[in-house]
A and B are shown apart, each in its own frame.
Chain A
């Protein structure tokens, strides 16, 4: 049974339609991504899920609750990490976590949580002295201190350096390993591809597709492209006749083989039978970004560089 159900969500601000028609379901225990360019309606969608916004149309069920009507119960069971929400400058990490822990009947141990998130040594540091990554960790800690069933993480790694981003990703996987269902809002392709079990691609307030990252890529193309340098000259015709191979081409000394299915296996066994070693071998396949471009008809870069 899905833990979150969103059906035909519609939300407008005045004349501006923020979310046109969004439907998806989230299963218990998964990391569910909401991916889309800025302004696609991602944040409005999650704000509706956590009861901060009154939808203009459609229905939402979270843990069987109505996010608006059953706000109080929802707040106890859903932890939220919000985009652009800070803490008072001079509050310390330990104070903030103790304060938030006091809001819940059965909170997690704040000290243990700080340890787990790797900011125990910052317990007495003030909020305005923390680095971006540390603030993000504290923010995740605050979302988890109530021992939530669901955690909503909005634009978790925006503004972090690559190292801090990778650490944060690991953290999200650790949280999921504790059995928490996670909704991850992001406009980063690599983040969605690395973390999400399934994701909804949203564009201009509509769901374009819901699938696993690999499933989304397969929808676009299953063609693979293999580039290698043969250890000795080889008859190109033999390769072109192999099953699953669509085309063979030369690029300088390198051969470029495109194909589908088990093309790599066919190619490698054939080369091995002829005692040819494939060096400098590289396998390219479409990635999530290609899938996104194909699904939305937009270049993802131009959609995000405004951020």
Chain B
């Protein structure tokens, strides 16, 4: 078994031994969907005169899951590994500690994907919210949004001196992200001044583009380009700045 496979297997087990991470990732988005789906939020939206996509609720739920992982779980774990010397210890074995980073990215990506699939299946089957109309555009956006958020998470892990500060910085990014993504003010409810930020912030651009795809349209270019740019810049910066000890 290659070192990466082995490390990923072990890290995956450790992921599930950390109950808060597992709960945040799966229980929170599913819980949101169940609560708001049960009161019929998605279905009533359009008839209420508000141009809110049927996809809003599932898109929000799966985006929250990706954001929890990228802004909180990923940077906290990596910063803790550096703080405790886990990465330093690996650096004196024949295996490069980059494998730990890769393993963490793979596991968090897998978790985000599984959470997304559960949400989509529930939305379609239990709450009659339908499925994405433009599947390829939806999947592409999901991948780009996750990449952008995870790249920011890596950057937080690179810059935060301790795991505690990584958690704090992650949370400081998480709440404004939710606001600019329109979690509390979907669609036209968002104030005018905040909309340009929504269009290019990772969660905002991602959710907007996924809702477009849900409604059958190809995602907006501005949204997609913003996601690519954020992923590239944050990814490169974290690669340059990441310290092993």
Contacts and interface: CB of A to CB of B under 8 A. Distances in A.
A72 interface: yes
A75 B17 contact: no
Contacts of B243: none
Contact of B18 (A52, A82, A90, A99): A90
For the complex of A and B, the 6 pairs showing the least CB-CB separation, nearest first, are A85-B85, A85-B89, A86-B84, A80-B92, A90-B17, A75-B94
A90 B12 CA distance: 12
Given A51-B92, A72-B94, 16 more contacts: A52-B91, A52-B92, A75-B93, A84-B85, A85-B89, A86-B84, A86-B85, A87-B86, A90-B18, A91-B10, A91-B14, A95-B10, A99-B7, A100-B93, A102-B3, A103-B95
Interface in A65-121: 72, 75-76, 78, 80, 82, 84-88, 90-91, 95, 99-100, 102-104
A99 B86 CA distance: 13
A88 B92 CA distance: 17
A50 interface: yes
A84 B245 CA distance: 11
B126 to A, nearest CB: 34
A46 B112 CA distance: 42
B20 to A, nearest CB: 12
Name A's interface SS.
loop
A86 B86 contact: yes
Contacts of A100: 93
B86 A82 contact: no
A95 B13 CA distance: 10
Interface in B65-120: 81, 84-86, 88-89, 91-95
A33 interface: no
A103 B86 contact: no
Given A75-B93, A146-B93, A103 B85 contact: no
B164 interface: no
B88 to A, nearest CB: 5
A292 B82 CA distance: 36
B73 to A, nearest CB: 14
A50 B92 contact: yes
Contact of B1 (A86, A88, A102): A102
A246 B94 CA distance: 59
A103 B14 contact: no
Contacts of B13: 95
Contacts of A85: 84-86, 88-89
Interface of B: 1, 3, 6-7, 10, 13-14, 17-18, 81, 84-86, 88-89, 91-95
Contacts of A78: 92
A104 B10 contact: no
B9 to A, nearest CB: 9
B94 A103 contact: yes
Given A99-B6, A102-B1, A102-B3, A88 B14 contact: yes
A93 to B, nearest CB: 13
Contacts of B89: 82, 85-87, 142
A85 B245 CA distance: 10
Contacts of B93: 75, 100, 103, 146
Contacts of B17: 90
A100 B7 CA distance: 9
Contacts of A90: 14, 17-18
A137 to B, nearest CB: 15
B213 to A, nearest CB: 38
6 contacts: A82-B88, A84-B85, A91-B14, A99-B10, A103-B93, A146-B93
Contacts of B18: 90
Contacts of B85: 82, 84-86
A82 to B, nearest CB: 6
Contacts of B91: 52
Given A95-B13, A99-B10, A102-B3, A88 B94 contact: no
B86 A104 contact: no
Contacts of B94: 72, 75-76, 103-104, 146
A88 B7 contact: no
B80 to A, nearest CB: 8
A205 B17 CA distance: 44
Contacts of A50: 92
Interface string A286-298: 0000000000000
A103 B93 CA distance: 7
A82 B1 contact: no
A86 B86 CA distance: 6
Contacts of A76: 94
Contacts of B3: 102-103
